Structure formats: C-alpha cells, structure tokens
Structure 1
Amino acid sequence: MREVHRAGGVEHQDEAQRDERVRGTQRQGVDEKLHRRHAAVIASTIIPSAPSTGSGEGSPAEDATARHSREILAALGMTGVPIPETRPYAGLTLPAALRTTRSMSVAFSTADRPPAAVTGRSDTRAIGRWLAVVAAMIFAMIVLGALTRLTESGLSMVEWKPVTGWLPPLGDAAWQAELAKYAQSPQGRLVNQGMTVAQFKEIFWLEYLHRLWGRLIGLAFALPMLWFLIRGRVPRWLKPRLVVLLLLGGLQGAVGWIMVASGLQDAPAVSHYRLALHLVLAISLYAYILWLAFGLLRPAAPSPLAGDRRVGRAAAAAVVFLFVVLTFGAFVAGLRAGQVHTTFPTMSGYWIPPGLLELEPAWLNFVATQTGTQFAHRWLAKILVVLCLALWVWARRVDATAPVRRATTMVALMALIQLGLGIGTILTGAELAIATVHQAGAVLLLSTLILTLRRAWPLQDALAGPARTG
C-alpha cells in the first residue's frame, strides 16, 4: 500500500513539473518577444551616435563610439542587436544608459499587461474571502430550506413583512394571534386543525429561521459591498456584477413569498413550479458567487492550455445539465413524488410504470404528475452521473493540467455519492435526514463542477477581470 501511495505521489509530482515546464515555455516565449522589442527601442534611442567631425570611415572616434555601443548592448544582454544609423541621445555614459533602459523596460512591461484597477491583490483576496462566506451562508440557507419543506413548515407564517418581520411573536397573546391567523389558512383548516400553540411553534420556528437567515445573508452581502465600494477597493469589472447580485438577492426574497402565497389560497401546498423557481434561483446565486470567489482567491494565472479549455467547455455543459436535473428534482419535491414508487432500479417493479402517459399532451406528464416527474428525474440523474464520469476520463485524454484533473476527480466522486443519496431517498420514501442531505449533495456536486470550470478558465489577472479563453 505504501508503494502505491509513493507511486501516486511521484506521478502527481511529475505531472506538476510537466505543467510548470509547459507554462514556463509559454512565459519564456513572451519574455523573449518583449526583450527583442526593448532592444529595438533602446538601440534606436540610447546608443550614442558618432561625432559629426567628418573624420571619415574607420576613424578612431567612430571606433570608440562602436566600442561604447557594443559595451552598452553587452551589459543589457543584447549583443545580437544591430546598431542603427540614427541615435538621437548621444553621449550618455554606461550607467546613465542603464538607468534610462530600466525606466523604459518598466514602461513597456506595464504596457504589455492587462489594464489593472487601482485595487491591489490583497483587496481582491479580501473580496474573495467575503464572497466565499456569503456562498457558505447561501449553502446553509438551501439546506435549511430543504428542512422547512420536508417538515411542511413553510406555510406556518401567513404574512410577509420584509422590513418589520425580524422579531418572532413575543408573549402568549402574540403567539395566540399568530396561531389564529394560521388556523384560517388552507393548511391550518385542512391538515393541522386543532393545533395547540406548542405544536404550532414546532413548525413556526423553522420557517422563521429560514426567513431570518435570508435577511442576514442580505446584510452580509450589502454592508461589506458598500464598505468595499466606498473605500475604492472593488475592481471596475466587478462592480456591476456585485450590484446585479444584490438585486437578484432581493428578488429571491420576493420569489420566496410568491411561492408561499400559492399555498395560502385553496390547496395546502405550494406550486411546484414556483418552488422550482425559488430553488433554482437560490442555487444560481450560490453558483455565481462561488465562481467569483474562486477566481478572486486563486493567484493570477496565464492563459489556460488547450486541454484545460476543452475540459472547461465540457464542465460548463455538465453544469447546464445539472440545473435541468435540479429543476426536475424540485418538481418531485413539490409534488411529493418521492413518496411513490419507492423501489430501485425499477419503479414499483416496472421500467415503464403504469400511468406514465395518462395526460395529454404527453410531455405534460413529466412536469405535472408524480410518476412522470420521478421518472424524468431518475433518468436525467443517471445521465448526469455518466457525464461526470466521462468528464473525469476526458480530462486525462486531452492532457489537462494536474489541478484540472484533480477537480474532475472530485466531480466523479461527488456524482457517485449523490447517486447513492438519491437511491437512498427513493428507498426510504424521502425520509427527512437523507432527503435533506440529498439536496445538499446536489449543491456540493455543483460546487465541484464550478471548481473545475474555474481551474480550466482562470482569471488571467485578478485585477483586470475574467480571462478570454478564446
């Protein structure tokens, strides 16, 4: 076993050294071009010209000038650069020429870099850490939302008070008033009639914490963003993205209430379409914030290699497909479809269950019925697992760099774990704990795909914005 681990370590070390050699070759080529460019400019401006004394060709004055020119070029490592005929800055000493050359070299090196904002690397890393914290809070929110849904606590608060709803009921009278409002709702009348205050509190607290946590996420995003903006520490390219994220976060709160309101009309259940919208929007916010955080926290990197770019495109396709699977998972959750056909790999003993196509048109069955949504979610999830495993193989076929290959390994492992969680959710009839972990696992799988994307498509310069991958 030790020999296997040692061999694996040597392999990873060789891969890392090979990747570094490839990137070193790229950097050397860029440096050589830049060096030639500097040499041409320096030779045409700094090398002293021959005195205009009419001494003629081969004179001692011209020989001295040529020796002085070659001495300067040799000191700069530019012995192969031809000495031009016109040299306006004549008579500079060697130290003065070297000082002037250094100034020009810095100027041209800066011109070849992407335009940088006023902010520094430490600023972008601080912003990256802040966004990572916000992403972690959203992840916790998604898990808390799963618990709220699975315990049917989401309809316990029948009013939406986004500004004044920070505090829970205080005192027995306030609790009695809140229970009276709930008792008039469809769930209070048809499902939980005769509920006591103690029983009501059990479902109320989860929904209250869910809403409170959403408000805290808003503050955790808005206040630091304002502080970074006031102090001028946000790169120009990042400012509009942060503003859009703030607006989408507010929209997510409104969508949440629209979803809850759908369960306060007639039936004691929310619209599964609105539930899907609420969940997908939350996960989309999480994914984009995590994407930005990974880019800001990782050191600046050169343009990705061709193999990395190809893996990145495949990972992007897998992310899109994962969102499709998530949408059907939300349909299953909203319709409580996880409580039917609790067998695997068949559905109640059938590969094609009875009643699968009972509605017209046929496609409506896959978005509006328990059997149809579970059937679609099962098979789409299996295809996603195959895609994730294929991504792992693909990263090794196209000679991607070691960090990208390691990220695809995480994708493959998380896909297999998520498959197991999905099977467990089916077999237990969506039992509370495993169904909650299953939803969390979907977000973790997305996280590994986002990491793969960011490693395949890094920021060329964290101060200048996202890299163009071509």
Structure 2
Amino acid sequence: MRQDRAVGTWLLLLAGMVFGMVVGGGHARTIGAGFTIQVWRPFTGFIPPLNAADWNQLYGLYQYTAQYQAQPIDMAQYKALFWPMFLDRCWGRLMACVFLLPFGYFLLKGRIQRKLALWLGFIFLLGAGQATYGWYMVQTGMYPGVVSPPPEWAAPHLLSAMLILLLLIWTGMSLRAPEPVRLDGAGSLRGLASASVLLIWITMGFGALVATSGALHVYNSFPTMDGAWTPPGAFAQDPLWSNFVTNKGTVQFCHRLLATVTALTVLTTAVMGLRRRLPPALRDIFLLLALLVALQYVLGMATLVLGNNELGFVHELNAVLLFATAIAARHGLRGAVAAPVGALAAAE
C-alpha cells in the first residue's frame, strides 16, 4: 500500500462519521424513537414531511406498531420523536455521499489502485448492508409485542458498525503511514493490544444487549448483584444460549465480568506501552488509552448503580472512542518484534 495522506484522511473522516452514526442511533434508542419511521426510501428519504398529509401517513403507520399500542402518543409527541430518527437516517445518506464522491474523484485521478478500490468497495458494501439491516430492525416494530428494538438485532447492528469503524481506521492510518516503525522488544505488547481490541469489541456487544433488553435495571448494586456474585436463575431459560441474549441477569453479569477483564487487560496494555520507549505520537495514544479505559469503567459503574439510560448513552459513546484508540494503538505496533535472543541474554 503506497502512501497517500489525502486518501487516508478521507477514510479517517468517514470513521469519524461512523461515530456520528452511533451518536444519532444511540440517542434515538435512548428516547424511544427507533420505530417512529416505518418507511424506507433510500434515495428520497432525505425529504422531510412537507404537509399534513405526509405527517398523517407516517403517524398512521406508527400507530400500527406495538410500541404505540402499548403507549399511545399524540402528533406533537410523535414529531418530537420523529426528528432525531430522521436526522440519523439523513446522516447515513450523507455518509454514502462522502464515500462515493471522493472515491470517484480519487479513482479518476489514479490515486486509488485496483486492489485498494476493491477493498474500499467491500467496505462500502458492508455499510450498505448495515443500513439494510437497520431497516429490517426498524420493521420489527410491526411485530406483536415488540415495543423496542430486540436485543438480538441491536447488538449485531452495533458490532458490525464497529467492524466497519475498525476497517476504516486501519486502512486510513495505513495509507497515511504505510511503513511500520520497527519496535524491538515490543512483540508481547502487540499481542496485548490485539487482545484489547477484541475484548472491547465483545464487551460492547454485551453492553448493547444490556441497553436494549432492559438488563440495566435488574441489579443496581456494585460489585455484587444485590448481595450475590452471580444472578439467581442465570441459566433458567431454554435453550441455554438464550440466557446470554434475553436473560437480563445473565446478560448484565456477562457484561460486568467482561468489562472487568477488558479494563484490566487494556490498562495493563497502556501501562506497558507507557513504560517502553515509543515514538511520541504512539506514546500519546497509549496515554489516551489509559485515560479512556479508566473513564469507561467509572461510567459503567455509575450507569449501573444509578440505572440511568442517559448516562448509559455517554458510556456507549466513550466505548466507541476507547475502541478507536485501541485500534490506533495496535496499528502503531505493526512493527513491534520480540527482543533479539542476544539482547535477552544480555539483560539476564
């Protein structure tokens, strides 16, 4: 991959826009707006309702949802929920434009070679699949008894978005700095950084399950769960796997446990990185990693004890920043190698 800072910066801008999608989608979920728009117009959906007939059509469709039937709202309340969801969808369309227009320009200018073009096309298809998946998730609002996005839909939606974020950050940073910096004796640190990225990603998946299943509100004490270390009835559901998706106590326990293991792993990675002689920019990334993981754990505890959905939303956003920082740290360690045998012998 040859260096092209402009193309790399464009991809990092798109990564920032993925964070914007998490902001918009998370806000819509937090206020209960996920099911408000029961139509999907990929190319004309940026046009808002222009008259009373348009509003009545959308409001009428929403009245068929289980969410409305469980808690009816009037037109004014519907409009208050409509706009955050509408803007979130418009942001997605803007992302498509920000991808396609520069992509076409760079391609015509010969700045993107065939291999990279195919790779970027793959990332775009992942984004299109993410949008389509999101639409089908919204349609579940028409299913009887489904009053909010189902956990088994919402968690994969977030995890797939994070995979797209990872690909954009990694590719963008590689284009800006294609030659890895050799870092002798940092091979183990590279392994820890890889584990940190994976653990953060898995923990975020269980965090999404907690947020969408209502598991936040079943045990609001820490470190125990109302005096117990494990929730009663942790495996009461059949089949067994469903406990890890819809059993609120089990889902919260898994998120607690993973969050603790992840925090310790990431903090260890950050401390080990800061103890090594690293390039200044990479050292700053490890310092940020330490600060974000500490903040993330504190936010998680506060969210749990207070049972506060809005604080949980902040917790989610910080998780994305933590994930992005861990990716950047791992990317900076591409040239990390184990210490030469001679160096180890000398150290002994």
Fold shared per TM-score above 0.5:
yes
Q: Is the 8 A contact 1:308 1:400 kept in 2?
A: no
Between the aligned partners of 1:197 and 1:393, the Cα distance in structure 2 is 54
1:430 matched to 2:308: yes
How far apart in 2 are the matches of 1:212 and 1:388? 35
Q: Which residue of 2 aligns with 1:453?
A: 330
**Matching residue of 2:140:** 262
1:22 counterpart residue number: none
Cα deviation 1:136-188 (Å, max 9, x = unaligned): 11101101111111111010011222122221111122212221111122112
Write out per-residue CA displacement over residues 193-214 of structure 1, whole angstroms, 9 at most, x where no aligned residue. Answer: 2x22111101111111111111
1:225 aligns with 2:109: no
The count of aligned residue pairs is: 334
Cα distance change, pair 127–309 in 1 and its aligned pair in 2 (3 A): farther
Aligned counterpart, 2:345: none
Amino acid across the alignment from 1:450: I
- Work out which of the residue numbers 167, 170, 179 in structure 1 matches 2:47: 167
Amino acid at match of 1:391: T
- Is contact 1:353–1:371 with CA below 8 Å preserved after alignment? yes
- TM-score using structure 1 length: 0.67
Partner of residue 339, structure 1: 217
Alignment partners' CA distance in 1, 2:24 and 2:83: 11
Letter in 1 for 2:156: L
Q: 1:405 offset after TM fit, Å?
A: 4.2
Secondary structure of 2:85 counterpart = helix
Structure 2 unaligned residues grouped into runs of 5+:
337-348
Segment of structure 1 superposing worse, 222-231 or 156-165:
156-165
Could you tell me how far apart the structure 2 residues matched to 1:142 and 1:393 are? 29
Q: How does 1:383-422 map to 2 (within 5 A)?
A: 383-395=261-273, 399=276, 401-403=278-280, 404-422=282-300
Give 1:279's match in structure 2, choosing from 145, 151, 158. Answer: 158
Query: What letter is aligned with 2:323?
Result: L
Aligned to 2:233: 355
Letter in 2 for 1:162: P
Using the aligned pairs only, state the percent identity.
Answer: 34
Deviations 1:119-149 (A, max 9, x none): xx5xx11111211211111101101111111
Counterpart code for 1:306: D
Q: Is the 1:307–1:401 contact (alpha carbons within 8 Å) kept by the matching residues of 2? A: no
Q: Deviations over 1:261-307 (max 9, x none)?
A: 22221122222111111111111111211122222234x54552233
Deviations 1:70-96 (A, max 9, x none): xxxxxxxxxxxxxxxxxxxxxxxxxxx
2:207 aligns with 329
Please identify the structure whose Cα radius of gyration is greater: 1
Instruction: After TM superposition, give the deviation of residue 215 of structure 1 in Å.
Output: 0.7
Residue of structure 1 in register with 2:59 after alignment? 179
Task: Read off the aligned partner of 1:455 and give its amino acid letter.
Answer: G
Q: TM-score when scaled to structure 2?
A: 0.90
| Alignment partner, residue 48 of structure 1 | none
1:155 pairs with 2:32: no
Q: Residue 202 of structure 2 aligns to a residue in which SS?
A: helix
Residue 342 of structure 2: aligned partner: none
Q: Distance in 2 between matches of 1:302 and 1:451?
A: 13
Equivalent AA in structure 1 for residue 325 of structure 2: T
Match of 1:16 in 2: none
Which one of the candidate residues 246, 255, 258 is aligned to 1:368? Answer: 246
Find the aligned partners of 1:276 and 1:352 in 2 and give their Cα distance.
23
Q: What residue is the counterpart of 2:339 in the other structure?
A: none
Q: 1:309 to 1:236 in 2, by over 3 A?
A: farther
Secondary structure of 1:349's match?
coil
Structure 2 CA distance for partners of 1:446 and 1:294, relative to 1, 3 Å: same
**CA distance in structure 1 between the partners assigned to 2:5 and 2:114 by the alignment:** 15
Could you tell me which runs of 5 or more consecutive residues in structure 1 were left unpaired when the two chains were aligned: 1-115, 460-470
Quick one: structure 1 residues 261 and 420, their matched pair in 2 at CA, closer, same or farther if it must change by over 3 Å?
same
Asked if structure 2 preserves the Cα contact closer than 8 Å seen for 1:146 and 1:436, the reply is yes
Measure how far apart 1:420 and its partner are.
0.8
| Preserved contact between residue 272 and residue 331 of structure 1 (Cα < 8 Å) | yes
Which residue type is aligned with residue 153 of structure 1? A
Q: Which has the higher contact order (CA 8 A, sep 6+)?
A: 2
Contact persistence 1:311–1:400 (CA under 8 A): no
Distance 1:174 1:458, change over 3 A: farther
Distance 1:172 1:458, change over 3 A: farther
What amino acid is the match of 1:453?
R
CA contact 2:274–2:286 (8 Å) conserved in 1: no
Note if contact 1:308-1:401 (Cα within 8 Å) is conserved in structure 2: no
How far apart, CA to CA, are the structure 1 residues paired with 2:33 and 2:206? 22
- Looking at structure 2, the residues matched to 334 and 232 of structure 1 have their Cα atoms a distance apart, in angstroms, of 45
CA distance in 2, matches of 1:146, 1:383: 25
**CA distance in 2 between partners of 1:330 and 1:405 (Å):** 31
Once residues 289 and 32 of structure 2 are traced to their aligned partners in structure 1, the CA distance between those partners, rounded to angstroms, is 32
Partners of 2:154 and 2:64 in 1: how far apart?
Answer: 22
User: Residue 392 of structure 1: CA displacement?
Assistant: 2.5
Whether the aligned pair in 2 keeps the contact of 1:249 and 1:285 (CA below 8 Å) is yes
Give the superposition deviation at 1:235: 4.0
Equivalent pair of 1:127/1:296 in contact (CA under 8 Å)? yes
Kindly report the root-mean-square deviation, in angstroms, between the aligned alpha carbons of the 2 structures: 2.1
Q: Is the 8 A contact 2:33 2:82 kept in 1?
A: yes
**Aligned residues of 2:211 and 2:312 also touching (Cα < 8 A):** no
Decide whether aligned partners of structure 1 residues 307 and 240 sit closer, same or farther in structure 2, where only a CA change above 3 A counts.
farther
1:444 alignment counterpart: 321
Aligned counterparts of 2:55 and 2:179: Cα–Cα separation in 1: 57
The 8 Å contact of residues 34 and 148 in structure 2, kept in 1 or not, is answered as no
The structure 2 residue matched to 1:288, chosen from 141, 163, 167, is 167
C-alpha distance in 1, partners of 2:186/2:223? 36
CA spacing shift, 1:261–1:205, aligned 2, 3 Å: same
Opposite residue 344 of structure 1, the aligned amino acid is F
Displacement, 1:458? 5.9
CA distance in 2 between counterparts of 1:428 and 1:172 reads 41
